[in-house]
Amino acid sequence: MHKHHSALGLATAHSTAVTGVDIAKLCPVQPVTLLRPHAARRAARFFVEKFKGRSMYAVKANPSVDLLCLLWESGITHYDVASIAEVRLVAATLPGATLCFMHPVKAEEAIAEAYHTHGVRTFSLDTVEELEKIQRATGDATDLTLCVRLRVSSDHSKLSLASKFGVEAREARDVLMATRQVADALGICFHVGSQAMSPQAYVQAMGRVRQAIVEAGVTVDVVDVGGGFPSTYPGMEPPPLESYFRAIHDTFESLPISYSAELWCEPGRALCAEYASLLVRVEKRRGDELYINDGAYGALFDAAHIGWRFPTTLLREPESEVRPMPFSFYGPTCDDMDHMAGPFLLPADTHAGDYIEIGMLGAYGCAMRTGFNGFTAAEPVIVTDEPMASLYGQRMNPPAAANVIKL
């Protein structure tokens, strides 16, 4: 995040940019990611202070080094890593962090490197075969925290994660008993799916945990409720996060577990969605279709492929007074699939040359960007205004001017 080169279409300016409107005035040719460090700090502090257990960041949601450092500075000390590349990244960036390798299916070489080179001691699994793999790769280590992943329902979530991983109820007893024999600390974990819209998702899953513990008759040291904590989007306005925390903690307290058992969670989206938005330019209008300079192969994968609706606003001065109408977007590539159906509400007089801010893209947007067809993005810019939507409200002071980039 430095001065933008003229090749990107951004003129050099000496004033401090604090909002998306300020950036739009510079007429960038490429899409620009707008970063809000204060929003990430606020989200991290919320989890650290209000979740009655251990919050570890799911790195896959946004592996930005800057974001990892922000979360660390805000009290997030544990990180859910799902590949050896993520292990290496976090280990190099935050040498003091605790890494938990929570992908249930791992290469044996990845397990060995994680354990012997990077000090990883926590692994997840959902089969006896994976348990045996972990034993071989770690040399039958006796200092492991091993979390057996249960398959649970995703009925309360917008994106299911109920098919690929998780031990079935009829097999859980054998996997838990075998893991208890090997693990220094035995955990049970699950994932209710992405964007869980009700605390009931966790209550139901914890019922499944209770059943598994009783049937296996094992002592459990860790209960990890996984991710799924929501953010707010058009048409997806969840209850307050405090209600999720309350439901999880109350149910955890009633489980037949050791008095010293730990409660963990793995927020990804909830920690980083508000961290970033996207500034795009309209290159063409065709009826209710807008051709913009980012899309399905850029930061808008979710909008294209799973129909995610993100908040949008027209950045024009003076503001348009024309009534809004629904639009769909086409991205810049030659691919017909580079289409975001929306609907995205914008003033009906939106036209080519206008700039649009698309919000809540800190989760998965930047992480899934490709360079397909040669279309990329300009360097990100830090802004100080509030996210377009928030579950956290005004909980901290704006960042100091020293944290604001100058163009």
Could you tell me the two tokens for 25?
A: 């005035």
Cβ neighbours for 282, distance < 8 A, ≥ 6 positions apart: 290, 291, 292, 350, 351, 352, 353, 354, 355, 356
DSSP assigned state of 296: T
Those residues whose C-beta lies under 8 Å from the C-beta of residue 28, and which sit 6 or more positions away, are 4, 8, 9, 10, 279, 281, 378
Q: Give the Cα separation of 360 and 269 in Å (integer).
A: 9
Go through the domains of the chain in sequence order and give each one's CATH number. Answer: 6-36+276-403 (2.40.37.10), 102-267 (3.20.20.10)
C-alpha angle 263/269/273, rounded to 5°?
140
Contact 27, 316 (CB under 8 A): no
**Is 334 marked active-site?**
yes
Token reading at 109: 């070489």
State pLDDT tens for residues 149-206.
999 988 888 887 778 889 998 899 999 999 999 999 999 999 999 999 999 999 999 9
264-283 confidence digits (pLDDT tens):
999 999 999 999 999 999 99
Q: How far apart are CA 295 and CA 288, in angstroms?
A: 17
pLDDT above 50: residue 8: no
pLDDT digits (tens, 9 = 90+) for 201-239: 999 999 999 999 999 999 999 999 999 999 999 999 999
Q: What is the pLDDT of residues 324-355, one digit of tens each?
A: 999 999 999 999 999 999 999 999 999 999 99
Active-site position among 27, 69, 272, 334: 334
pLDDT at 169: 85
Residue 403 has pLDDT above 60, yes or no: no
pLDDT at 148: 98
pLDDT of residue 332: 96
CA distances (Å), origin 279, targets 23, 167, 296, 305, 325: 8, 42, 15, 20, 20
Residue 353 backbone zone (phi > 0: left; psi -120 to 50: alpha; other: beta) = left
pLDDT of residue 394: 52
Is the confidence at residue 405, as pLDDT, over 70? no
Q: Read off the pTM.
A: 0.90
Tokens of 225: 């409720």
pLDDT score at 63: 97
Residues 6+ apart with CB under 8 A from 252: 53, 206, 223, 263
pLDDT over threshold 50, residue 391? yes
Which tens digit of pLDDT belongs to each residue from 355-367? 999 999 999 998 8
Name the strand (E) or helix (H) holding 312. strand 312-314
pLDDT category, 297, cuts 50, 70, 90?
very high
Confirm if 268 and 57 have CB atoms less than 8 A apart.
yes
Residue with tokens 């058009």: 234
- Token look-up 């995703």 returns 154
